[in-house]
Structure 1
Amino acid sequence: MPVNEVRVFIGLGSNLPGELDSPQQQIISALQELDALPQTRLVKASPLYQSRAVGPEQPDYINAVAQLGTHLEPLALLDALQALEQQHRRVRLQHWGPRTLDLDLLLYGNDTIDHPRLTVPHAFLTQRAFVLYPLADLAPELVLPCGTSLLPLLDKCPTDGLQRFIE
C-alpha cells in the first residue's frame, strides 16, 4: 500500500438511467460512493458537463472528473471502480456503447502504468474534451507524467459540443 496519499483523477460518465436515477443522478451518486471507498477520500469534483457520445448512435453523456486522495494501489483502485460500475448495473455489450456508469482511472499520481488491465494516463485523456475541460476545472496547473501541461492541450482539443450541464 502506498505510504503517502496519492492524488488521482477519475473520469465519470453516464448516458443511461439506472433503475431509479437519471444519468446526472448516477454521477452525483457515484461521487458520494467514491468518497466512501476504503482508504480513499473525495477531494473535489468538477461541474457536470453534457457531451456527445463517442461511438455508435446513443444519447448524450453527462460527464465529470473527480479528484481523489487514496492509499489504494492502482489495481485495487481499479477493482473498486469496477465494483461501483457493477452496483450501477453497468453492462458491457459493446465498445463505446451506452452505459449507466463509466469510471475511468485517468491519472494515478505522476505514475505511468502499462498493465494488461490498466493504462495510466488513460489512453484518450489528451483527446477528449469531456475529460480535459472538467480536469482543467479541478487542476489547471496539472502537468501530465510525460511533462505536457494540461492547459495547452485544451487549445488543441475541439469542444465537440461540450457544455456545462444545467438542469
Structure 2
Amino acid sequence: MGLATAATSAETSAETSIVIAIGSNRPHGRHGRPAEVVRAAVKALGEAGFAAGAVSPILATRAMGPGGRDYANAVMTSSTRLAPPQIVAALKAVERSFGRRGGRRWGARVLDLDLITWGDGVWPAPLLWRQSRGIAVPHRAMHTRAFVLAPMLAVAADWKHPVFGLTVRQMRARLRNG
C-alpha cells in the first residue's frame, strides 16, 4: 500500500489499511463483561464503516496508572478512505454510543478505541509527528504498550513503524527485553 500522506479533505483517494486498538475494563449493561464489550465494539465499528479485516485474540492485561481493573484488549484491522481526524471522530462516536464519557486520564472505561496505524503513513507530517499535541498516527506510545503490541503480533506482526523503522515483532521484542 502506498504512503498515506496528510489529506486536507475528509477522504483520501485510496483505501488505507488501519489498526484500531480496542480495550475495556468496565462491564456494560447490554454487552456484559469487558471481553464481551470488545466483541460488541468490533461489530459496532463494522456498522460505523470500519469492517474488520482481522481481529486479534482478546487478551487480559493489567491497567496502566490508577485505572484499577484489568482490561480486555484486542486490535483489529480495517481499511478506509478517511483521514486520521475523521477516523478518530468516528471512533469517539462509537465510544460515546457505549456510554463513554470524558473523565480522568487512566480511569476505568467501558470502551477505549485508539487509531494505532494508518497504512504506512504518518499524521501529521513526519517532522511534526513527535511535537504534535493533537492526533498522531502511528500512535505515539504504541511501541511502549504491550497491550497494543501483543495483539498486533497476531494480525500485523510485520507492519513497519514509519518513524522508527521497526516491525511490530521488533518493537515487542525490545519492550520485553528492555
**TM-score if structure 1 supplies the norm length?**
0.89
Cα 1:57/1:7, change in 2 over 3 Å: closer
Give ranges in structure 1 of 5+ residues lacking alignment.
160-167
Q: How does 1:101-116 map to 2 (within 5 A)?
A: 101-114=111-124, 116=133
Match of 1:24 in 2: 35
Match of 2:20 in 1: 10
Cα 1:2/1:57, change in 2 over 3 Å: closer
Residues 41, 70 of structure 1: 8 Å contact kept: no
1:69 Cα offset (Å): 0.9
Aligned length: 158
Q: Following the alignment from structure 1 to structure 2, what is the Cα–Cα distance between the partners of residues 120 and 85? A: 19
**Residue 89 in 1 paired to residue 99 in 2?**
yes
Match of 1:162 in 2: none
Residues 12, 101 of structure 1: 8 Å contact kept: yes
1:41 Cα offset (Å): 2.1
Select 1:120's aligned residue among 115, 121, 137: 137
> Cα RMSD between the aligned structures?
1.5
Cα 1:139/1:98, change in 2 over 3 Å: same
Give the partner amino acid of 2:136.
Answer: T
* Richer in strand (by share): 1
Deviations along 1:103-146, one digit per CA (max 9) or x if unpaired, are 00001111111454311111210011110011111011111112
Moved more, 98-107 or 53-62: 53-62
Residues 90, 99 of structure 1: 8 Å contact kept: yes
Q: Which runs of 4+ in 1 moved over 4 A?
A: none
* Richer in helix (by share): 2
Q: How does 1:26-45 map to 2 (within 5 A)?
A: 26-38=37-49, 40-45=50-55
Match of 1:165 in 2: none
Residues 35, 72 of structure 2: 8 Å contact kept: yes
1:156 Cα offset (Å): 1.8
